[in-house]
Amino acid sequence: MHRGSHSEVIRGDARACFEVLLDFERYSAWQGAVRRCEVLERDAEGRGSLVETELDLKIRSARYVLRYHYDPPRRIWWEYVEGDLRSIDGEYRFEERGDGTTLATYEVGVDLGFPVPGRVARTVAERALRTAVAELRDRVERDGAPA
């Protein structure tokens, strides 16, 4: 399993970051690797609890289903249910800094289920982590929380 994390400061509050991530149906509009994202089940508050995603991994596509958990607006975490990968788990954490910005941290562990040389895996994982947080930052700073 390859694990990593990346943090960035986002101009916006934790609630805006949290709300953007709850809008699964629009992921493909602002996350470059996401081909499709569909909510299969919702919790009592209407948030996606079981979500299917299809990614373009460049070397191949991958489909997986994750179960999401929430601690609004500070944390969203997920666990692997099924799909083309062997495993994926992770979380987003949001820490408001008191100056109108939020420190967003994305942490993920992925086992693709097929061998990837260590150096290649680290390079791809680091790029994916940076890109995921940068795309969230750009989305929040450009549009704010979804209406």
- Per-residue pLDDT of 73-125, as tens digits, reads 999 999 999 999 888 899 999 999 999 999 999 999 888 776 666 766 666 67
Rounded to an integer, what distance in angstroms lies between the CA atom of residue 125 and that of residue 79?
18
Of 108, 128, 96, nearest in space to 12 by CA: 96
Give the DSSP H or E segment for 80.
Answer: strand 75-83
pTM over the 0.95 mark: no
CA distance 30 to 37: 12
Going by C-beta distance under 8 Å and a sequence separation of 6 or more, which residues neighbour residue 130?
6
Query: Cβ(18)–Cβ(144) under 8 Å?
Result: no
pLDDT at 123: 67
What is the structure's pLDDT at 1? Answer: 73
pLDDT of residue 124: 65
In this predicted model, what pLDDT tens digit does every residue of 16-58 receive, in sequence order?
999 999 999 999 999 999 999 999 999 999 999 999 999 887 7
pLDDT at residue number 120:
63
User: For 114-139, what is each residue's pLDDT tens digit?
Assistant: 666 676 666 667 778 899 999 999 99
The backbone torsions φ and ψ at residue 130, rounded to the nearest 5 degrees and listed phi first, read: -60, -45
Structure tokens at 97: 């800094």
Q: Which of the four pLDDT bands, split at 50, 70 and 90, describes residue 3?
A: confident
Topology classification of domain 2-143: Alpha-D-Glucose-1,6-Bisphosphate; Chain A, domain 4 (3.30.530)
Distance CA 57, CA 100 (A): 34
What pLDDT does 76 receive?
98
